[in-house]
Amino acid sequence: MGRQYFGTDGIRGRVGQAPITADFVLKLGWAAGKVFSEAEKGRKLILVGKDTRVSGYMFESALQAGIIAAGVDVGLLGPMPTPAIAYLTRTFRAQAGVVISASHNPFDDNGIKFFGGDGFKLGDEVESRIEHYLDQPMETGLSEYLGRANRIADAAGRYIEFCKSTVPSGFNLDGLKIVVDCANGATYHVAPDVLRELGASVTTIAVEPDGLNINRECGSNHPRGLASEVLRQKADLGIAFDGDGDRVVMVDSRGVVLDGDEILYIIASHRHSSLGGCDGVVGTLMSNHGLKLAFDKLAIPFERARVGDRYVIESMRKNGWKLGGESSGHIVCSDLTSTGDGIVAALQVLKAMSETGKTLAELSRQMEKLPQVMINVRMKEKVAVVDLPEIRAAVVEAEAALAGNGRVLLRPSGTEPLIRVMVEGVDQELVNRLARQVADTVEKVLL
């Protein structure tokens, strides 16, 4: 069955515009409740968490009402990172977990994404079954068959302890000065505590969410403020999360920003040297070619998946590999958790620093990135741009100019109405010019 509402990362859009409306989310809660109530006999439980967007309160109430109407209990987690909800879904033996978040998007967007009882995102078949019920009349059960709601007061503490459990018991960050940017999002009340409890001296920025400032000029999408603060504080490093905490970028003591490719390399190379090998790593179509070249030197197998952490995880599970990620900062360590987790990934980098005695700059220096430029072109509606003759001709011309020493990639965003134009090559000036040239053609054709 095809899917009308679910995209690569749940259902997402502008608040107040279909389908991100209170009435739709009410019915979505009911539809999900119906699907998961059919799975097993007995009482059912679905956990619901959210990030710090002002609209999250409205959608939390709507989801709660719909799920209860379907006869399923609800555990309310409040503001919690997306990976925390995946973890708690497993530990509470819940049938599903629901995250109300639009991740790195601005506050006026929101979305709903689901985890199954195993802590993994739902497969297409389950999402299609939920959509089936969205087309049915909503029915409310009799009082004796309604679900019940319970607020889980110790959710943050449980997750903090889990994060600390992903590093060795004797591990500590004593003497390390870290600046943490929580994007005014869901990590604001957990990430600083994890690092402090491990012994670090922590300075925080963007930890005062007001419902409207999530991701606004802060967090993993806007790390320049963090870089400036690291330099001002003379800190050892900085860590920036996105609004729901499943992405992370880092800043070294020189103020240099390290993206997901560099973080993935540090974790994989350290595992390779300390454990006597790394079985393989999954990246995406957007991963820098320098990452592959660095892994080739270490004889670490590398495979590219479609963009989106669900596709990275699918490829990891298919290959039996434990590590994968995206340049955006989604890093998945499947031997530790079931989904991308910014805090867990950052701890793995800090572990590498501790065990090697090297700084973040020294660890990242072992990978040399090729010049890569990405330009986002906004579009009004989804169009298969690579099939349009004028755009295809612009891509062919750019590829010819690269002469086999680079690549051109056009990819529609799975979460926003954008076409991402990416050009990668050896010469920075040529890459800049070709990216602008292709992007201008795409913009002209789509106008």
In tens, the pLDDT along 150-178 reads 999 999 999 999 999 999 999 999 999 99
**Whether the predicted pLDDT of 408 surpasses 90:** yes
Whether pLDDT at 2 is above 60: no
Contact 268, 323 (CB under 8 A): yes
Q: What angle do CA 276, 282, 287 make, to 5 degrees?
A: 115
Mean predicted confidence (pLDDT) in 354-380: 93
Provide CB contacts within 8 A for 440, sequence distance 6+.
Answer: none
For tokens 């070294």, name the residue. Answer: 252
Give the Cβ contact number of residue 286 at 10 Å. 20
What are the pLDDT digits (tens) for 49-80? 999 999 999 999 999 999 999 999 999 999 99
β-pair type (237-241, 177-181): parallel
Query: Which ranges in the chain are annotated with CATH 3.40.120.10?
Result: 11-154, 175-257, 259-364
CATH topology of domain 11-154: Alpha-D-Glucose-1,6-Bisphosphate; Chain A, domain 3 (3.40.120)
What is d(CA 255, CA 223) in angstroms, rounded to the nearest whole number?
Answer: 10
d(C-alpha 330, C-alpha 328), whole Å: 6
State the greatest distance between any 2 C-alpha atoms of the chain, in Å, as a whole number.
70
Q: For 168-226, how does the pLDDT look when each residue is reduced to its tens digit (9 = 90+)? A: 999 999 999 999 999 999 999 999 999 999 999 999 999 999 999 999 999 999 999 99
In the structure encoding, which two tokens stand for residue 372, read together? Answer: 């890569």
Task: Tally the residues of the chain.
Answer: 447
Greater confidence (173 vs 39) lies with 173
Pairing of the two strands 109-116 and 11-14: antiparallel
Closest by CA to 442, choosing from 409, 405, 406, is 409
Indicate the angle between helix axes 56-69 and 22-37, nearest 10 degrees: 40
Q: pTM to 2 decimals?
A: 0.91
Q: How many CB atoms lie within 10 A of CB 337?
A: 21
What would the pLDDT profile of 288-309 be if each residue is shown by its tens digit? Answer: 999 999 999 999 999 999 988 8
Overall average pLDDT of the 334-343 stretch: 97
Q: Are 62 and 83 in contact (CB under 8 A)?
A: no
pLDDT at 41: 67
pLDDT at residue 1, as a whole number = 46
The predicted-structure confidence for 78-136, as pLDDT tens digits, reads as follows 999 999 999 999 999 999 999 999 999 999 999 999 999 999 999 899 999 999 999 99
Q: Round the average pLDDT of the chain to a whole number and report it.
A: 94
Q: How far from 91 is each of 42, 129, 321, CA to CA, in Å? A: 18, 25, 23
* Three-state SS sequence of the chain: CCCCCCECCEEEEECCCCCCCHHHHHHHHHHHHHHHHCCCCCCCEEEEEECCCCCHHHHHHHHHHHHHHCCCEEEEEEECCHHHHHHHHHHCCCCEEEEECCCCCCCCEEEEEEEECCCCECCHHHHHHHHHHHCCCCCCCCHHHCCCEEECCCHHHHHHHHHHHCCCCCCCCCCCEEEEECCCCCCCCCHHHHHHHCCCEEEEECCCCCCCCCCCCCCCCCCHHHHHHHHHHCCCEEEEECCCCCEEEEEECCCCEECHHHHHHHHHHHHHHHHCCCCCEEEECCCCHHHHHHHHHHCCCEEEECCCHHHHHHHHHHHCCCEEECCCCEEEECCCCCCCCHHHHHHHHHHHHHHHCCCHHHHHCCCCCCCEEEEEEECCCCCCHHHCHHHHHHHHHHHHHHCCCEEEEEEECCCCCEEEEEEEECCHHHHHHHHHHHHHHHHHHHC
Average pLDDT over residues 414-424: 85
Burial track 378-398 (b if 16+ CB lie within 10 A, e otherwise)? ebeeeeebeeeeebeebbeeb
372-446 belongs to which CATH class?
A: alpha beta
Residue type for position 137? P
pLDDT in tens, 241-290: 999 999 999 999 999 999 999 999 999 999 999 998 899 999 999 999 99
Please give the angle made by the CA atoms of 84, 86 and 91, to the nearest 5 degrees. 90
CATH topology of domain 175-257: Alpha-D-Glucose-1,6-Bisphosphate; Chain A, domain 3 (3.40.120)
**Residue whose entry in the numeric block shows the structure tokens 């790394």:** 278
Neighbours of 226 (CB within 10 A): 28
The superfamily in CATH containing domain 259-364 is Alpha-D-Glucose-1,6-Bisphosphate, subunit A, domain 3 (3.40.120.10)
103 in active site: yes
Looking at 37, 101, 103, 220, which residue is catalytic? 103
Which residues make up the CATH 3.30.310.50 domain(s) of the chain? 372-446
